[in-house]
């Protein structure tokens, strides 16, 4: 999995959800017993963790904003941070797998 492929996977996920309004974010995801917003926020946190690891920095909690409509932007930002950190292929593959799993669970 390349950085370009991860970027494409994130763009596909963002394209799937960017137009959602609050009721769609609040709906329960098809996999698990959590809202779609919770599922995407978990993905944002996981990618942020991978970026912190790649940078050799401590992991930090990504804030859960009051408005779920910000989640696509948060996902874009943490993905850009990960790719800017020049992660190894394992981190890119793990991020891509998380994106794919989240996308199918929505």
Task: Please determine, for residue 79, whether its predicted confidence score (pLDDT) is greater than 80.
Answer: yes
Phi, psi of 28 (to 5 degrees): -70, 135
Question: What is the percent of the chain where pLDDT is above 70?
Answer: 100
Task: Specify the pLDDT at position 32.
Answer: 72
Q: The whole model's pTM is what?
A: 0.95
Q: What is the pLDDT of residues 27-54, one digit of tens each?
A: 999 877 899 999 999 999 999 999 999 9
d(CA 51, CA 36): 23
Structure tokens at 101: 């799993």
Task: Specify the pLDDT at position 31.
Answer: 76
Task: Please determine, for residue 21, whether its predicted confidence score (pLDDT) is greater than 80.
Answer: yes
């Amino acid at each position: 999995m390349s950085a370009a492929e991860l970027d494409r996977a994130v763009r596909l996920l963002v394209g799937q959800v960017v137009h959602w309004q609050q009721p769609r974010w609040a709906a329960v995801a098809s996999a698990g017993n959590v809202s779609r917003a919770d599922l995407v926020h978990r993905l944002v946190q996981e990618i942020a963790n991978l970026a912190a690891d790649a940078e050799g920095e401590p992991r930090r909690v990504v804030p859960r904003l009051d408005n779920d409509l910000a989640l696509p932007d948060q996902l874009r930002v943490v993905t850009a941070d990960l790719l800017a950190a020049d992660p190894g292929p394992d981190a890119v593959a793990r991020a891509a797998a998380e994106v794919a799993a989240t996308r199918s669970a929505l």
